[in-house]
Structures are given as C-alpha cells and as structure tokens.
Amino acid sequence: MGIVNLTDDSFFAGSRVGVDGVSERVAQMLADGADIIDLGGCSTRPGAELVSEEQEWQRIEGAMKSLAQRECRLSIDTYRVGVAERALQMRDGLIINDISGGSEAMFELVGGCGAEYVLTHSVGAERGASVVADDADIVCRVCRFFESRLAELQRYGAERVILDVGIGFSGSVENDFRLLGGLSEFARFGLPVLVGVSRKRLVWQTIGASAEEALGGSLVLGWQALMGGATILRTHDIAPTRQMFEIFERYKALNG
C-alpha cells in the first residue's frame, strides 16, 4: 500500500504531493509494484493542525478526479464519515482506511454499501483507557479492542474488514515493538492484517536518525511484520519494499 499524502505537513516530506502531481506519483508507485494507493487529505501525525472537513474533501476529490481513468485499487485515509461517504459515491471498490478506531456512523456507512474497511487500534479509541508507556498487556488489549469493534461492525453488516494494530498510535515506541512481536496473535480473527512501520518514530528514534534516514530500519521491521503474519504493508517506499517482499516470499517458500 503506497502512501500519498495530499498535505503540506505530513511527518515525512517525501510522501507529500499536491493534487497536480498525484497522477505522476501514482503512476510511478504502480510501476514500482504498489497494489493499493492510499490517499490522505488530512495529516494524522501527533500535533498536526487539523484541516476542515471541506478542505480535506477538496484534496481527496481532486486526487480522485485525476485518477479517474487509471486502473488501480484506491484507499481513502480518513476518519471523517462525510469524506468517506462522498468518496464512496465517486468510485466503486474503495477501501476506507480509518485511523480513529471507528464510530457507529462510519460502521453504518461501510456496512450499508459493503465497502472494505480498515479498523485501526489506537489508545485514544479505547473508551476510558489510560496510556501505559510500556504495557506488557498491549497485545491482549488490542485483541479485546478488535473483538468489541468487530462485533459492532457485524451488527451493521460490515464484513470486509482489515485489521491495523496501529503502530504509532499505541502510546509509546515500547508498545509498538510489543505489538510487532505479538502480531501472530491477531491471526485468530481470520482477517487481513495491515501494518504501517514506514519511517515512523519507532524506527528513527531507535537508530537516532531522521525520518529521511529511516528506510533501512523500516525494511527490517517490514520483514518482521511479514514474519508475524501481516498481509499488507503500508509504505512510503514502494520499490525497495517490493524487493524485500519478493525475497521474503522466496524465503517462506523454502522454509515454510
């Protein structure tokens, strides 16, 4: 899943692109081996200034129009029901990638139209939860969170669900590493698992570098995610991630 940020303040400058440059950026990502293109019109990095829903939609709408004639699988990175609804009216087969953990209105929307939906864990989405910087129970907590939200989704008829354990939204780098280490536990749900470690804080803080210098570490953790059972890697860097994935596939074929 290739990241295309239609913003001017996403944490990794290399992922930012204006609407005028979307078609060219997406063409390159597809040539490099992307399977899904994830369009984001509002930065969700910690401390980011939120744009209005209308501004977010204008960015998404412009990008979708520029890609109207291009055959590719699109994902819309939004937690706003209004943005998701308008996007779903424009194009069939969209994935709604919601980092908020969901709401009844969002569940009703995706259930009603049968859209594919990414359910993401974050500490902020857990009702009444407190942040524990090094939570030995984090994997169990996330499993309980998914159990609860999946039951809600099922009530609204939403069955096409992808799970995202929320690397970067767990409360700390320590918790992020624990979630990666326990990734195989989420196989119990029998659903695709998306993992996004690309150039995130657990990489650059650990190696004492910047996001711009974090490609190598991102690939290492991407490999670990695949070992744990991840089926989708969300990344800024399609070509090297595709190379890593092909090596992983060969490794698994020979070693089981």
Q: Could you report the per-residue pLDDT of 137-147, keeping only the tens digit for each?
A: 999 999 999 99
Over residues 240-247, the mean pLDDT reads: 98
What's the pTM value of the predicted model, to 2 decimals?
A: 0.93
Q: Mention every residue, 6+ apart, whose C-beta is less than 8 A from residue 105.
A: 81
Q: Does 252 qualify as catalytic in the annotation? A: no
Query: pLDDT tens digits, residue range 160-187?
Result: 999 999 999 999 999 999 999 999 999 9
pLDDT, residue 112, reads: 96
Q: What is the token pair recorded at 142?
A: 């996330």
Residue 247 phi/psi, 5° resolution?
-65, -40
Count how many domains the chain has. Answer: 1
- Catalytic one of 16, 59, 200, 201: 200
Q: What is the token pair recorded at 51?
A: 């744009």
Q: Does 45 qualify as catalytic in the annotation? A: no
Q: Are 138 and 179 in contact (CB under 8 A)?
A: yes
**Radius of gyration from C-alpha coordinates of the chain:** 17
With 70 as the cut, is the pLDDT of residue 11 above it?
no
- The chain-wide mean pLDDT, for the chain, equals 92
pLDDT, residue 7, reads: 77
pLDDT confidence bin for 19, thresholds 50/70/90? confident
Query: pLDDT tens digits, residue range 43-94?
Result: 776 666 778 999 999 999 999 999 999 999 999 999 999 999 999 999 999 9
Q: Mention every residue, 6+ apart, whose C-beta is less than 8 A from residue 161.
A: 116, 117, 118, 119, 150, 153, 191
Over residues 150-165, the mean pLDDT reads: 97
CA pair distance 100, 118, nearest whole angstrom: 10
pLDDT confidence bin for 13, thresholds 50/70/90? low
CA pair distance 80, 23, nearest whole angstrom: 24
What is the domain-level CATH number for residue 179?
3.20.20.20
pLDDT confidence bin for 113, thresholds 50/70/90? very high
Provide the residue range defining the domain that includes 189. 2-255
- Catalytic one of 234, 242, 250, 252: 234
CA pair distance 63, 7, nearest whole angstrom: 12
Over residues 202-209, the mean pLDDT reads: 95
Question: What one-letter code names the amino acid at 28?
Answer: Q
Over residues 217-236, the mean pLDDT reads: 97
- Using DSSP's 3-state secondary structure scheme, residue 73 falls into strand
Q: How many percent of the chain have pLDDT more than 70?
A: 93
Over residues 131-141, the mean pLDDT reads: 89
Question: Tokens 């989704």 label which residue?
Answer: 153
Strand ranges in 183-224 using DSSP code E only, listed in sequence order: 193-195
With 60 as the cut, is the pLDDT of residue 10 above it?
no
Q: Are 180 and 224 in contact (CB under 8 A)?
A: yes
